[in-house]
Chain A
Amino acid sequence: MDSSCLLASLHGSDTLLFADMQHRDPMLQKRDEFEDMLEERRNSSDLRYALRCYTPVLYKGVTPCTAGALKNMVLQSAQIHFVIGQVSNETGRAVDDVQEEASAILEEMAHSLQLSTVRFFAFTLSKVFKTLFRSICVNEEGIQRLQQAIQEHPVVLLPSHRSYMDFLLMSYILYTYDLALPVIAAGMDFMGMKFVGEMLRMSGAFFIRRSFGGDKLYWAVFSEYVKTMLKNGFAPVEFFLEGTRSRTSKSLTPKLGLLNIAMDPFLKGEVFDVHLVPVSISYERILEEALYARELLGVPKPKESTSGLFKARKVLSEDYGSIHVYFGQPVSVRRLSQGKVDRGQFNLTPRHIPKRPSEEIHSFVNDSAYGLVRAQEENMVLKPWVLLASLLLQNHHGDQASGRARGMALDELTEQAVWLRDLSRQYGAFLHWPDHVPPPEVVSSSLSLHRGLVTITEGRLLRQAVTVLSCVSYRNQALHVFLRPALLASAVHAASSSSGKRKTDIFNSFSFLRNMFSNEFILCPGATVQDFEEACFLLVKTGALQVSQQEVVVTERGHRTLAFLTSVLDPFLQGYQVRVRSRLRYTEVLSSDLQKNALAALLRLGAVRKIKGYVGFDHPRVPGEFDKAYEWG
C-alpha cells in the first residue's frame, strides 16, 4: 500500500502534496495547542458542573432514539432475520428459540446510556482527577474538529489504550466539552465487576465477549448493533484499535474486527461517510506502571473486581503528573478508500447477507488500521522523562556489560538529554519539553515525579533492577520516533561489519529487520520503501549519513547518533536472539511481551513451527542469516 497516500488521507483536507512534505519532514508537522481542562474544575463547583445543562450537537440535528428502541431496530433488522433463519436451518432449532437467543445476546451486550449516571461520573471523576493529576491537557481545536465531524458524519473514536482510565477519561472530556457521549466497546471482563459493570453500562459501555470464534449469531448481533448505532448517528462509537491495554507503552498491532464493522456501512453505501478520529492519550505516569511490569514478568493480571478497585484506592495519594489528550484530524473513510476499494462489489448480493470481507477490503482495513495507529503514535506527547528513561536504560546496559559502578552523573544525563531532545525534535517527536525552564530543572523535576523508579544520591542516579521494565515502558513511548532511523542505523551497522556499504545491501538488511520486527512495532504493511526513504531522509537531514545513488557513508559526527539509534533497537534484537539461543544481557528481554512477539515473528518467518501446541525449531540453525548478520556481542 502507498503510505504517502494514506498519510495524505490521515491529514484530512490537506492536499497530497502538502501531506507528502509532512511525510518527508516531520518537523513541519503542525500540531494544536493544549488547554488544561482541570484548571476550570479547580476554580468552580464540581456539583454545578455535574448538573449543568448538557446539550451536545447531534448528527444531522436528529435526536437519537432511546437505548430500548435501538435494541428493537437491531432485532428487526434484515441481517438478524437472515442469520436467525440460517442458524435455525443449520441447527434445526425453532426460529423463536434462536430469536430469543439473539435477544439475550443483545441484552447482555447492550449499553443503557443514561445522563444521570454520566453526571455522577462527572462529579466523582472531577474529584479523583484533581487529586491524581496536575493537569489534563486537551487540544481544543481537535475538539472543534470533532464537533464538526459529529454533526456531519457518523464518528468513530479511536483512542490509544494504555490504562483503564482511558475510556472514563474520554467520556469525561466529551461531557466537559458538551459533545455527544460515546458508546464504548468494552471487554466482558468488566461485566464481572458487581455494580461497577452496570455503572459503566449506564455510562455508555457495551460489552463484547473476548472471543466468539464461530458463533454466527453472536457476530451478527454484535456487528448489527454497532452498525445500527453508527448509521443512525446514535452516538460516536468508541473502541480501542489495539484491542487491549498496551503493557509496554508500545503501540500494539491493531485488531481489525471492529474497524471492519465500523467501515462496513460506508462500504455498503448505507452512509455517505464515516469519520475515524484517532485520539492519543499520553500519561506522564501510568497508574498501572508497576502492575504492568509484574505482568510482563509473568505475574498474572489481577482479575477485574470491585473490591480490587476499592483496594487500589491507595493510588489516590500519589502524584501522576499530567495527561495529554490529543484529538487527531478526523479521517474520512471515503477519502481513505478512494481508489483502493471498489464499492461496486456489493452490488450483486443483497447487503444484509453477511459475507466474509473480500481480499481487497481486508487489506484496505488492515492498512487503514496501521495508518490509524501510526496517527495515534504521532500525536502522543512525549515528556522529558521518556528521553531520560531511554538514556538511563542505555547507560544501565552499558554498566551491566562492563561491570562498572551503577548510575550516571546528573549533569552528564542533562547534557545527553538536551542532545537527545534536539535529535528527537528533528525526527518529528511531539515533545513536551518546557523550553523556558533551564534543562537541569526539567531533568530533576522529571526524576522527582518518578522517584519510585530512580533515586538521586549525591548527584548520581541509582536504579532498582525490577523497575527496569517500568522504565522501558516509558522509553517505549518514544520508540515510534526513532524506529525507522534506528532500523536504518542497525542495518548500516550490520553492513559495516561485513561486505561494505552498498545501498542495496543496506536496504536488504533494513528490509529484513523491518520484516522481523513487524510484530513488535507498528510498521505499515507494504511500506518498506517509504520507510527506508524516510529513514534516509531523516539521517541525512541530521547530518549522520551521506547517501548517494550507490553508497551510504557514515559522517564523522554521525557516530553518536548512530550509536544511540542502534542501542535503541539493541534490546529487541537481543531479545529475538534469545529466542534462538540462550544468552542474556538485557534485563528487559525477560518481558513476556517481547518473547511473545519474537515467537510470532519467528513463526511467521518460518524459522519455527507450531506442532500441536508445542513450539520447536524447524531446523536447529535455520536462522543463519539472522545469526550471521546480527551477532553483536
Chain B
Amino acid sequence: MENVVQRLLKCSTSTFFQLHIVNCTGLGEEGVKAAVATSRLERGKLRRRTRAAVETGVGHREPGPRTRRCPQIAFCPAFCDPDSLPPRVGWIAAGALASIPTPAAHGSAPSIHKHGSSMASNSSSSGGSDRQRIAQQRLRIIAGHLQRPAGDDSALLAAECKDQGSKSDASSEEKTVPRRRQEIMKWNGWGYSDSRFLFNKKGQAEFTGKRYKLSGMIIPGLKEWFEGTFGANLQHKSPATPILNSSAVRPPTLNEAFVEELKSTGVPFSHDAEDRVFRAYGHCVHEIFALREGRIGRVPDLVVWPNCHNDVVKIVELACKHNVCLIPYGGGTSVSSALECPSEETRSIVSLDTSQMNRILWIDEKNLTAHVEAGIVGQDLERLLNESGYCTGHEPDSMEFSSLGGWVATRASGMKKNIYGNIEDLVVHIKMVTPRGVIEKSCQGPRMSTGPDVHHFILGSEGTLGVVTEVTMKIRPMPEYQKYGSVVFPNFEQGVACLREVAKQRCAPASIRLMDNEQFKFGHALKPQVSSIFTSFLDGLKKIYITKFKGFDPNRLCVATLLFEGNREKVLQHEKQVYDIAAKFGGLAAGEDNGQRGYMLTFVIAYLRDLGMDYYVMGESFETSVPWDRVLDICQNVKARIVHECKERGVQFTPLSTCRVTQTYDAGACVYFYFGFNYRGLSDPVHVYEQVEHAAREEILANGGSLSHHHGVGKLRKEWMSETVSNVGIGMLKSVKDYVDPNNIFGNRNLF
C-alpha cells in the first residue's frame, strides 16, 4: 500500500497539488483506489500511469457495490493556508493509513495532527463523528449519483477532434451516454433501465439497481403515503407497454441527397426506429404517458451523432443546402415539449444528438475556466473536473442526464447557484453553429460592454438558432467541506419569512429550500428502512420533541433543507448565522438527515413518477420565479387552484398539490410545484392533466409569477410568450431568428 502512495507521489509533477489519501470509510481492508489531479499538460500521461499504479497496488478486484459506494482516494488541493485544509486530511491522518507521512509540506502538520486525532477519538464514540459521517455520506452520494455505468475510461484524454482519427475508438460501452441510449436507459420512463421503484410481493416499496444511495433499499413508509395521498390501490395497476413496437413507428422520410452527402462526411447516423423514438420525446407527462401506452407520433427521420464542432458545422451546412429540419438533442430531459417534432413540419427532420461531444478540451487553472464540448452531461462534467480537483458547482436536479448545451439553450439553474451562479453567470464563452455560420466572442474577457451581450441571444434560444458546440465555463476548486442541515418551522409563513431574511442578509448557503407540509411528509415517506432500533428510537424522540414539547402542528409544520459548502470553519460559522436567523422565526434545527433526504427527493422524484404511473397516478412539476412579497400568495393560490381545477374536472380524489421555495434571490424566489392525482375513472386523463396545468400556469401569471424560472418555454408555454416579453420583445426575438436562420432549418418551433 505504501508502494502505491509513493509511486503516486512520484507521479505528481505539479507542486500546486498535494496528494492526500482518504480512508475508505474506515474499512482499510477494502483497499484504496486512487485518482490524481495534475496540471493539464501532463494529464493524459499521468492518468494512465495512475490507474496502472492503483491496479498494481490493490490488485484486481471485482467492483462490488460496497466498494462502489466507498469514498475513494481523493486528491485535494492543499493550500498554504492551514485553515483551509480539508477535514479529510485530518481524517486520513487518523485513519488506517495514518502511518504514511502526510505530504502537507507547509508546516501545518501539527495542527493537522491535532485536528486529526481529535476526530479520531470522536469517531470511536458512537454519535460524535457527525461531520465525518456527513463528509462520507456526501462522497457516497456523489459517488452514487455520478457512478459510471460501465468501465472507467474517460474521454478526457483526447483533446483533438476525434473525427480526425478513426471513429472506432468511440465505442459506446465507454460512454456514460452511449449512442444507443436504449442500452442503458428507459424508453418510456425516467433514467436508467436498472433503476426503478416498485412495490414488491410484500407490498413494500423498494428501489432497484445499484446506482443510488437508495438502491436496493426498502422504503417502508412509501406505500401508506402513496395510498393515503392519492387514494391509489396496489390492486389497481396501469402497467406500461413493455416493449417499443418498431412497427408503430412511421418509416422515415429521408432526404436522399442529404443522406448521401452525410455519408461522405463520415459522421455516424441512424434511421433505426428505436434511435428515432428516443429523440422524439422529453419528459412531459403527456409524452411519457403516450409512450407508456405505445402511442408514437411524429418522430425524427434520422439521428446524427457529431463528434466535434467541425462535424456540426458540416451537418448544418448540409442541412441548409438540402433544406432539412434540424432539432438539436442534448440530454433529452426537456419538460416543455421542446423536443416534440412540429406536426406541421413537412421536411425531413434530423435529430442532432450532441451526446458524443463530451470532452473537456482544456482546463485553465490560472483563470479557473474549463473549455468543454457542449454535449457533456452534468455528471460527467462534474466527475471529470472533480478528478482534477475542480467543479463547476452547477447542479440542476437533472444533472445526471442533462447536457451543458441544453443548460445554455434553456438558461438552466443549479441548486447551488447561491455560490456558483446560474448558467448565465457560469458561462464565459460560447460557440454556436448557426445556418449563418459560427457565432462566438473574440476573447475570454470576464465582462464586456460591447452592446447587448450576444450570449444572451444564445442563452435560452432553445435550439431555434443553432447548436451550441463548445462552452468555456468558470470552474472552482472542489469544496473542502459540505454539510447538510434542516430547520423545522411551525408553519410555511414563518419559513418564507426566514428565507426572505436570509436573502436580505445575503447569507444564503449553497442551497436553501423550504418545503411545505405536504412535501415534508412526502420526503418523510421516502425514509429508507432503518436497521438500528436506536435510530428509530431517536426519530421518535425528535418527533415528540417537536410536536409535543414545542407544540408544532404536524399538519402545518414545514422544513427548510440546507446545504453548506466551503471552508470548514466558515461553513460552521455560516451555519450558525443561518440557524440564528431561523430561530428568530421560530425555526428549530432538525438534523442533517432531514436535509439530505430533501435533496434526495429531487433526484428520485422522476423515478417516483414512473411508479405512480404504474398505479393510475400521474404527476408533474413546474416552476416559477416571483417577487418576495408575492411568494406566500402565489404558493397558496396555485396550490388551491390545482385542487379546485381537479375537482371541477371530475378527479375523484383530492390531488397532491405541494410546493417548495427552492431558490432565493435578492428580489424574489423560485417556487417549485409538484402536482399529482389519481386518474382512475377518467376517460382522458392527459387532457384533464393539461387543463389543470394550464390553469395553474394562468394562476401563476395572474399572481405575478414568471412564465418559467429554468424549465424554459418550449412549445408547452409558447402561448404566453408575447404577454411575457411584450410584442416588441417577440419582434426582437423574431428578427434575430429571421436573420440567423431565415429558412427555419432549426425548426423545432420553440419559444414563439
Any chain A CB within 8 A of the CB of B727?
no
Q: Is there contact, CB below 8 Å, between A344 and B701?
A: yes
Any chain B CB within 8 A of the CB of A347?
yes
Bound Cα distance A351, B634 (Å): 14
Q: Is there contact, CB below 8 Å, between A269 and B702?
A: yes
**Stretch touching chain A among B157-165, B412-420, B522-530, B635-643:** B635-643
Size band of the interface chain B makes with A: 10 to 19
Any chain A CB within 8 A of the CB of B548?
no
CB contacts under 8 Å to B, within A319-364, are 342-344, 346-347, 350-351
A272 interface neighbour in B629, B637, B723, Cβ under 8 Å: B637
CB contacts under 8 Å to B, within A344-395, are 344, 346-347, 350-351
A residues contacting the other copy or chain, number (CB 8 A)? 12
Any chain A CB within 8 A of the CB of B703?
yes
Residue of B629, B704, B723 most packed against chain A (CB within 10 A): B704
Bound Cα distance A460, B49 (Å): 124
Q: Is there contact, CB below 8 Å, between B640 and A269?
A: no
Q: Is there contact, CB below 8 Å, between A351 and B629?
A: yes
Q: Is there contact, CB below 8 Å, between B634 and A269?
A: yes
Total A-B pairs, Cβ < 8 A = 26
B649 to chain A: which residues have CB within 8 Å? Answer: none
A2 to chain B: which residues have CB within 8 Å? Answer: none
Bound Cα distance A269, B640 (Å): 12
Bound Cα distance A350, B628 (Å): 11
Closest to A342 in B: B702
Bound Cα distance A346, B633 (Å): 13
CB contacts under 8 Å to A, within B681-717, are 701-704
User: Interface on chain A toward B: helix, strand, loop, or mixed SS?
Assistant: loop
Closest to B639 in A: A272
CB distance from B289 to the nearest CB of A (A): 28
A342 to chain B: which residues have CB within 8 Å? Answer: 702
Bound Cα distance A343, B704 (Å): 9
Bound Cα distance A343, B641 (Å): 15
CB distance from B718 to the nearest CB of A (A): 18
Any chain A CB within 8 A of the CB of B180?
no
Q: Is there contact, CB below 8 Å, between B629 and A269?
A: no
CB distance from A118 to the nearest CB of B (A): 29
Q: Is there contact, CB below 8 Å, between A272 and B641?
A: yes
B630 to chain A: which residues have CB within 8 Å? Answer: 269
Given A350-B629, A351-B629, also A272-B702 (CB < 8 A): no
Closest to A337 in B: B702
CB distance from A4 to the nearest CB of B (A): 20
Q: Is there contact, CB below 8 Å, between B636 and A344?
A: no
CB distance from B729 to the nearest CB of A (A): 15
CB distance from A307 to the nearest CB of B (A): 50
Any chain B CB within 8 A of the CB of A270?
yes
Bound Cα distance A343, B634 (Å): 13
Q: Is there contact, CB below 8 Å, between A272 and B704?
A: no
B633 to chain A: which residues have CB within 8 Å? Answer: 269-270
A346 to chain B: which residues have CB within 8 Å? Answer: 704
Closest to A350 in B: B629
Q: Is there contact, CB below 8 Å, between A344 and B704?
A: yes
B703 to chain A: which residues have CB within 8 Å? Answer: 269, 343
Bound Cα distance A343, B633 (Å): 13
CB distance from B145 to the nearest CB of A (A): 38
Bound Cα distance A351, B641 (Å): 21
A269 to chain B: which residues have CB within 8 Å? Answer: 630, 633-634, 637, 702-704
Closest to B644 in A: A272
Task: Digitize A253-274: 1 where CB-to-B-CB distance is under 8 Å, 0 elsewhere.
Answer: 0000000000000000111110
A343 to chain B: which residues have CB within 8 Å? Answer: 702-703
Q: Is there contact, CB below 8 Å, between A272 and B701?
A: no
A344 interface neighbour in B634, B637, B641, B702, Cβ under 8 Å: B702
CB distance from A18 to the nearest CB of B (A): 15
Bound Cα distance A270, B640 (Å): 12
A351 to chain B: which residues have CB within 8 Å? Answer: 629
Provide a sorted-by-A list of 26 A–B residue pairs whose CB atoms are within 8 angstroms: A269-B630, A269-B633, A269-B634, A269-B637, A269-B702, A269-B703, A269-B704, A270-B633, A271-B637, A272-B636, A272-B637, A272-B640, A272-B641, A272-B644, A273-B640, A342-B702, A343-B702, A343-B703, A344-B701, A344-B702, A344-B704, A344-B723, A346-B704, A347-B704, A350-B629, A351-B629
Interface residues of B (CB under 8 A from A): 629-630, 633-634, 636-637, 640-641, 644, 701-704, 723
Interface residues of A (CB under 8 A from B): 269-273, 342-344, 346-347, 350-351
